[in-house]
Amino acid sequence: AAANGWGVPVAECRAARSVVTHTPTGRTVTYGQVADAAGRLEAPKDVPLKDPRTWTIAGQPLPRLDTAEKLTGAQVYGIDLSPIQPRFSAPNVKYQVDDVEQPWTFPHDHFDYVHTRILYGSMRDWAAFFAQSFAHLRPGGYVECQEIAVDARADDGTLPPHSTITAWCANQEEAMRRAGGMSLLITGAELKTMMEAAGFVDVVAREFKIPIGQWPADPRMREAGTFQLVSLLEGISGLTMALWTRFLGWERDEVEDELAKVKAEFQRKDVHSYWPAYAVYGRKPLEGKTG
């Protein structure tokens, strides 16, 4: 019904989480908005079953809200600058509005595991964060960071240096540095070095590639790229507008015109772009008790 309304091929649309998305343009419509039109369509007589290799829910190791209960029952804390956490969670999970770059309110040698994800552009002093993590972890405890560098790449040369995507990444980095001295280009090697300097041992840095768009041949990576593309198309204006108008001197109309070009380039299947992503973790030595 959504494809008919847009006048596009069904193959260009995907449905997930009660929303139908036209992948090439990023247009969306909810199930409820097309329910009436869908009800007037003739039901197909032959519905092919999905290949189990393409399943994204059945048989997959999806995260669960009750995981905390099913582990050891240990207290789990979620820290954020804003009160945006879910209303319902496992009974041993608590959310706290706080700034991890300020002195921590927890005792030393308190945690078994400290975990962060996607704090690029938010962390001014990673070294200080790792020092606090070391102090507040119990001996033998781990810290893990998962980050993405806003540095779009293409290993096959399909993303030239003069592309609008490359220019967007460079402008984002410059605006963030002017905004508060923060960087969007943190790497796994840099995180590893700072962890080791804080005292962590057995530090491991792993690098991944998150595709942007539907260009990958592998079905799983193509799906990941599709999710990344849709997320980017929907959120790029919010990521860009305030930074460029406040710190780079752009006018709103200029930003919107430039973003239209960036979006178009991200959607090209002949541009094989991806984000470099990193997972880095290290252990506090057993003899590393904090006094």
Question: CA 138 to CA 287: how far, in whole Å?
Answer: 10
pLDDT at 65: 62
Contact 71, 35 (CB under 8 A): no
* Segment among 38-42, 56-60, 210-214, 224-228 with least mean pLDDT: 56-60
Question: CA 112 to CA 76: how far, in whole Å?
Answer: 10
Contact 232, 262 (CB under 8 A): no
In 99-144, alpha helices (H): 126-136
Mean pLDDT of 269-273: 94
Question: CA 162 to CA 168: how far, in whole Å?
Answer: 10
How would residue 159 be classed by pLDDT, with cut points 50, 70 and 90? very high
Question: Which residues lie closer than 8 Å to 187 by C-beta, 6 or more apart?
Answer: 149, 276, 278
How would residue 68 be classed by pLDDT, with cut points 50, 70 and 90? low
On the question of pLDDT at 183 being above 70, the answer is: yes
Cα dihedral across residues 11, 17, 20, 25: positive or negative: negative
Question: CA 68 to CA 65: how far, in whole Å?
Answer: 7
Place of tokens 């508060």: 180
In 159-291, alpha helices (H): 164-180, 188-198, 219-247, 252-266
Element (H, E) at 286: none
pLDDT tens-digit map of 102-156: 999 999 999 999 999 998 888 889 999 999 999 999 999 999 999 999 999 999 9
pTM for the model stands at 0.70
**What residue type is assigned to position 27 of the chain?**
R
